[in-house]
Amino acid sequence: MKSKEFVLHNGVIVPHPGFGTCKIPEEEVCGAVLRALEAGYRHFDTASFYGSESGLGEALRKSGLAREEVFIASKVWNTERGYERTRAAFAASLERMGLDYLDLYLIHWPANKKQFGDGAEALNAETWRALEDLYEEGIVRAIGVSNFLPHHLEGLLKTARICPMVNQVECHPGWLQFPVLEYCREHGIVVEAWSPLGRRAALDHPVIRDVAQRTGLTTAQVCLAWLRGHGVLPLPKAADPSRMEENLREEGMLDEKDMRAIDALAPMWLCSDPDMVDF
């Protein structure tokens, strides 16, 4: 089963959907990634904060696949912001995975005014400058951000040499974040969705269940098809091989009526606010 592709504004091709590794226990990461590779996933999302980088690297080595066949993304954590610390964090991520380059590197969360006051914008700019240099040095193929709202992106673009290629945000039924999606479309930034299934709150919602029953899809496939309909690249996570294959299957698009019905759902699940986090 072959994954589909998104194309970033620098021409880099990103397999779709990706496979998220957040909250997989460290001792289970290698096995989960090997099963996902067997199912057909070729895009894996990790982060220094997840504790899954070492297991992901081990799985790649055991898989026997050529490095260029797999797309690997990671992120710099909040305690490593700033130019020199970001570069050191990137090097540490490469070492943990046993790789000599990454396909995508992201700023995990924006520095916000709640924590950093008027210095937040400058801190984001310094962190981004490190990513730009890593990109121009050829040791990462694409760079982006995560959890950035339009005003964070506006601040970043005041001094950026390179526009982010990706913005990974919480995105699922009940929390599409239309302003983020619209801003990113206008600037050629691909939106990736973390927590694309929204936990049980979305999967058990009567509207999602109704669409699934009428279309012959599972409720998870409905959520993923809805995201595809909005041009969003989802990063689902699953431990069971049958669920991995279910999430990978592309079963067509939802019609306009079903898209609008899901669009209208009230907020559910986490609905994080990057301006309010203090970690």
Q: Mind listing the pLDDT tens digit of every residue in the chain (279 residues)?
A: 344 679 999 999 999 999 999 999 999 999 999 999 999 999 999 999 999 999 999 999 999 999 999 999 999 999 999 999 999 999 999 999 999 999 999 999 999 999 999 999 999 999 999 999 999 999 999 999 999 999 999 999 999 999 999 999 999 999 999 999 999 999 999 999 999 999 888 999 999 999 999 999 999 999 999 999 999 999 999 988 999 999 998 767 899 999 999 999 999 889 999 999 999
CA distances to 11, 140, 195, 212, 263 from 209, in Å: 37, 41, 18, 5, 15
CA trace torsion 48, 49, 54, 60 (10° rounding): -70
At residue 200, φ and ψ (nearest 5 deg) are -65, -25
What residues have CB less than 8 Å from 137, skipping those under 6 apart?
A: none
- Within 10 A of 150 (CB to CB), how many other CB atoms are there? 16
Cis status, amide bond into 17, omega within 30 of 0: yes
DSSP 8-state assignment for residue 144: E
For residues 48 and 92, is the Cβ–Cβ distance under 8 A? yes
Task: Check: pTM over 0.85? Answer yes or no.
Answer: yes
Q: Which residues are catalytic?
A: 50
Q: Which residues, 6+ apart, have CB-to-CB distance to 126 below 8 Å?
A: 81, 82, 83, 86
Hey, is 174 helix, strand or coil? coil
**Distance in angstroms (rounded) separating the CA atoms of residues 200 and 8:** 31
Degrees to nearest 5, angle at CA 170 with 238 and 57: 45
Helix residue ranges, H only, the chain:
26-39, 53-63, 83-97, 113-116, 120-136, 150-157, 178-186, 199-203, 206-215, 219-229, 241-248, 256-263
Burial 42-51 (b: 16+ CB within 10 A, else e): bbbbbbbbbb
Cβ neighbour number for residue 267 with a 10 Å cutoff: 11
Distance between CA atoms of residues 97 and 104, nearest Å? 14
Binding residue per annotation — 108?
yes
